[in-house]
């Protein structure tokens, strides 16, 4: 999809830059009036800006090594809430909880339960009848105890039954409407698990939805035994979520190393656990890619992960050679720490590399088109 969007953007840029009142420049001539070397890619500053191209001058710098492993986002103990039915009937889910991962605000309606058409009738109506019956008994008892016809203890029993019936009716009637009894979330969170489907019959107290807290989450990484010797240097981590394709650094999320575990039950994996603030739309239970970040090495040439493009198993970056020209450079990647990739060969330092928007430059190279009207002759 990203490639399609870039292609559409590039086509629009090239089409918008052509002018019919200028003759086409000779193929061998450059857009600035000078001959270009073979293999150079013409991409004007206007096109680069529209495509979101950002460059970075590559220099030797510290590079933190990392171990790439699998992991899971987990909710700490006590951060999950199960929302249960407050009445019996047929359940309908609110729009905010029709899919796992959706956010629910505190006090928001999670579901509605209706007893219309059921043999036992509406539970709110039954609660109202019980309340009115208990109230009449209580008021009659108040007169009888004054006339010493019933004892004080008998009157207190009637009072207790009345209070219980009143509270039960008020609790159900407060959230009752034509659509049934509203069941509300006691706290904000994300839908971790749906336990019922629309139209299911539910009983009082039956679990409907599991919500997970939005405050703190855990990242549990499963480390193969062959990497155990590298765990001592691990201090932080990065992880990539499958639903948005973004990589997140725990350092920017208030993260900390919580525990290094031990292999149990013959498992070839050792758990390493981190805790962090849930400042994004992270969902507990999500499987993620994890980079366990260790000590940094000095004087390493590296590029952002977004700078690399791959073709048939070979890797390339695009180097800016002038305001409107670029060239393709093959490189050999080494270590990848989830943020940057160390380069073993292909760069020497000092090159201005396309850090963001490399796909747009790649599409310009594949098009082989030099837009008319951009010969910039002086």
pLDDT digits (tens, 9 = 90+) for 76-134: 776 788 999 987 888 888 887 878 778 888 888 889 888 766 656 666 677 778 888 99
Residue 112: per-residue pLDDT: 87
Tell me the average pLDDT across 147-157: 89
CB distance 88 to 120 below 8 Å = yes
Q: How far apart are CA 125 and CA 15, in angstroms?
A: 70
Question: What digits encode the pLDDT tens for the residues 27-81?
Answer: 434 444 334 556 789 999 999 999 999 999 999 999 998 999 999 998 877 678 8
166: phi then psi, degrees, rounded to nearest 5:
-65, -45
Q: Are strands 176-177 and 236-240 parallel, antiparallel or unpaired?
A: unpaired
Judged by average pLDDT, the poorest of 46-60, 169-183, 219-233, 267-281 is 169-183
| Cut 0.75: pTM above it | no
pLDDT band at 4 (very low <50, low <70, confident <90, very high): very low
Tell me the average pLDDT across 225-244: 88
Residue 35: per-residue pLDDT: 41
Judged by average pLDDT, the poorest of 12-21, 48-57, 346-355 is 12-21
Residue 314: per-residue pLDDT: 96
Helix H or strand E segment including 359: helix 358-367
pLDDT band at 323 (very low <50, low <70, confident <90, very high): very high
Cβ count near 1 (within 10 Å): 5
Set out the domains of the chain in order of their start, with CATH numbers: 2-60+301-367 (2.40.420.20), 65-76+214-298 (2.40.30.170), 80-212 (2.40.50.100)
Average pLDDT over the chain reads 82
Question: What digits encode the pLDDT tens for the residues 153-208?
Answer: 998 999 999 898 888 777 666 555 555 788 889 888 888 788 999 889 888 899 99
Tell me the average pLDDT across 228-244: 89
Go through the chain and tell me how many residues it has: 378
**Cα 128-131-132 angle, rounded to 5 deg:** 85
Long-range contacts of 155-159 (CB under 8 A, 24+ apart): 158/134
**Beta-bridge partner residues of 114:** 90
302: phi then psi, degrees, rounded to nearest 5:
-145, 160
């Amino acid at each position: 999809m990203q490639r399609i969007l870039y292609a559409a953007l590039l086509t629009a840029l090239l089409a918008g830059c052509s002018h019919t009142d200028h003759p086409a420049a000779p193929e061998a001539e450059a857009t600035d009036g000078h001959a270009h070397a073979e293999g150079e890619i013409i991409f004007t500053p206007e096109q680069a800006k529209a495509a979101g191209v950002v460059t970075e001058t590559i220099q030797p710098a510290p590079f933190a090594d990392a171990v790439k492993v699998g992991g899971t986002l987990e909710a700490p103990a006590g951060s999950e809430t199960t929302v249960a039915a407050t009445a019996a009937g047929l359940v309908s889910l609110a729009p905010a909880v029709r899919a796992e991962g959706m956010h629910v605000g505190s006090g928001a309606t999670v579901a509605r339960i209706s007893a219309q058409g059921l043999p036992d009738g509406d539970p709110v109506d039954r609660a109202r009848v019980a309340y009115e019956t208990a109230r009449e008994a209580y008021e009659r008892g108040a007169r009888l105890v004054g006339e010493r016809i019933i004892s004080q203890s008998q009157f207190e029993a009637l009072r207790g039954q009345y209070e219980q019936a009143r509270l039960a009716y008020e609790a159900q009637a407060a959230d009752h409407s034509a659509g049934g009894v509203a069941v509300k979330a006691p706290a904000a969170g994300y839908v971790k698990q749906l336990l019922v489907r629309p139209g299911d019959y539910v009983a009082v107290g039956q679990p409907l939805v599991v919500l997970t807290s939005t405050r703190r989450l855990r990242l549990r990484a499963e480390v193969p035994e062959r990497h155990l010797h590298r765990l001592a240097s691990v201090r932080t981590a990065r992880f990539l979520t499958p639903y948005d394709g973004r990589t997140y650094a725990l350092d920017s999320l208030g993260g900390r190393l919580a525990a290094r575990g031990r292999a149990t039950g013959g498992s070839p994996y050792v758990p390493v656990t981190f805790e962090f603030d849930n400042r994004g739309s992270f969902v507990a239970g999500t499987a993620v890619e994890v980079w366990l970040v260790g000590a940094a090495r000095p004087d390493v040439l590296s590029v952002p992960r977004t700078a690399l493009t791959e073709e048939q198993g070979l890797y390339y970056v695009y180097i800016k050679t002038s305001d409107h020209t670029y060239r393709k450079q093959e490189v050999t990647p080494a270590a990848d720490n989830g943020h940057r990739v160390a380069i073993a060969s292909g760069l020497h330092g000092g090159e201005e590399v396309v850090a963001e928007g490399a796909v747009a430059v790649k599409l310009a190279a594949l098009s082989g088109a030099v837009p008319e009207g951009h010969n910039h002759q002086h």
